[in-house]
Amino acid sequence: MRSFQYSRPSSLTAAAGEMGGLLAQDPDAPAAYLAGGTTLLDLMKLDVARPERVIDLSALRGELGHVHPGATELRLGAFARMAEVAAHPGVIADYPVIAQSLALAASAQLRNMASLGGNVLQRTRCSYFRDPSWAACNKRTPGSGCAALGGVNRAHAVLGTSEHCIATYPGDFAQALLALDATLVLAGPQGSRTLPFGSLHQLPAATPHRETTLLPGELITEFVIPARAWTRRSLYLKVRDRESYEFAVASAAVALDLDGDVVREARIALGGVATIPWRAHGAEDALRGLTLTETLAWTAAENAFAAARPQTHNAFKIDLGQAALMRALLQAASLEIRP
């Protein structure tokens, strides 16, 4: 790990101001925000992240740590602890997919450390990204190539890949946000704005190093999740190699609005199989207006993976992703929803 300067501003305004000052001097200033720290510190040890300036946001926990489940929307401060949100009765009852995606992420202990904002911005677990001795990584070094393409790629993505990058987005919470049409509140040196969560992550395409649409120095301050007809019939299904404390091999966040057995509306986001949190619009369309049967669920699942492109070791993720989605849909349909 390289040396850096450290500061801990006492407020959001001070933090954004400090970062703004650095960027004003140098638009490419090697500065980083430190939230829960679980991703940044790890990558700094690996010499993948090399910030010269680290702005610690832990003082913002008080200011941005709220959990407000309401009748029309759920508002979550970006510094609310994952554990706290996952255990909140109002979230569990009315926004189950949110609570489940957080409860199934990482370990109980990391859920105490990591912030919500940091969680959705966590970097890929791609071994080749995480080890700088592999020269070829377009995410680390634009234009250098992709070592994962010819390497060990069981864990890599089958959806949203490009010839430049196949790294999987590793998180769980993001799929829940995506399925529920969440909105982000952002703050930065240029002020604050809102952004649909679905517009946050960028496909790797030819620029895998650009992972999000955040502006320089911008940070997430709040998540707003609207309560809709399908929100309470929602769940997160996570398939992993180990029973606990492990990233998804495949996951599905689903939300259904049913009229009897007929799907009025469906929301589907997939994890573990794609380069970004993956919204399966085609699968949603395939369900809408039809009676949800095992056959229909398979049709939707096949649709979700129609564009999948397997690598040497991960073709199974297509079958597995389909099975996970189907299982999630049938499970969601069978939920007892209190009026």
Residues in contact with other proteins by the rule CB under 8 A? 1-6, 8, 34, 37-38, 41-42, 44-45, 47, 54, 56, 58, 107-110, 112-113, 125, 127-128, 131-133, 150-152, 154-155, 239-246, 249-250, 316, 319-320, 323-324, 326-327
CB of 186 vs other proteins, minimal distance in Å: 24
CB of 22 or CB of 184, closer to other proteins: 22
Strands 262-271 and 5-7: unpaired
Give the Å distances, CA to CA, from 250 to 51, 56, 64, 178, 236.
32, 33, 31, 16, 11
Specify the residue, 118 or 160, whose C-beta has the smaller distance to other proteins.
118
**Which of 72, 244 has the CB closer to other proteins?**
244
- The neighbour count for residue 161, using CB atoms within 10 Å, is 26
- Please say which residue, 19 or 186, places its beta carbon nearer to other proteins: 19
**Measured from the CB of residue 70, what is the shortest distance to other proteins in angstroms?**
24
Residue 306: count other Cβ atoms within 10 Å of its Cβ: 11
> Cβ distance 55 to 30 under 8 Å?
no
User: Could you tell me whether strands 191-196 and 250-259 are parallel, antiparallel, or unpaired per DSSP bridges?
Assistant: unpaired
For the CB of residue 319, give the shortest distance to other proteins in the complex, in Å: 5
Nearest approach in angstroms of CB 215 to other proteins is 26
User: What's the min distance (Å) between Cβ of 108 and other proteins?
Assistant: 4
- Name, in order, each residue with C-beta under 8 angstroms of 173's C-beta and a sequence gap of 6 or more: 82, 98, 101, 102, 105, 116, 119, 120
Contacts with 156 (C-beta within 8 Å, 6 or more apart), sequence order:
126, 148, 166, 167, 168, 311, 313, 314
Q: CA 217, 218, 219, 224: dihedral to nearest 10 degrees? A: 180
**How many Å apart are CA 174 and CA 191, to the nearest integer?**
24
Under a CB-based contact definition with an 8 Å cutoff, are residues 93 and 71 in contact?
no
**Nearest partner of 178 among 268, 104, 88, judged by Cα:** 268
Residue closer to other proteins (CB basis): 129 or 223: 129
Minimum CB distance to other proteins smaller for 54 or for 184: 54
User: Of the two residues 155 and 184, which places its CB atom closer to other proteins in the complex?
Assistant: 155
Structure tokens at 60: 């913002």
In the complex, the smallest distance separating the C-beta of residue 228 from other proteins, rounded to whole angstroms, is: 27
The nearest distance, CB 57 to other proteins, in angstroms, is 11
Shortest Cβ distance from residue 194 to other proteins (Å)?
30
If the CB atoms of residues 38 and 202 are measured against other proteins, the closer one turns out to be 38
Report in angstroms how near the CB of residue 236 gets to other proteins at its nearest: 14
Nearer to other proteins (CB atom), residue 142 or residue 245: 245
Distance CA 124, CA 139 (A): 10
CB atoms within 10 A of CB 77: 24
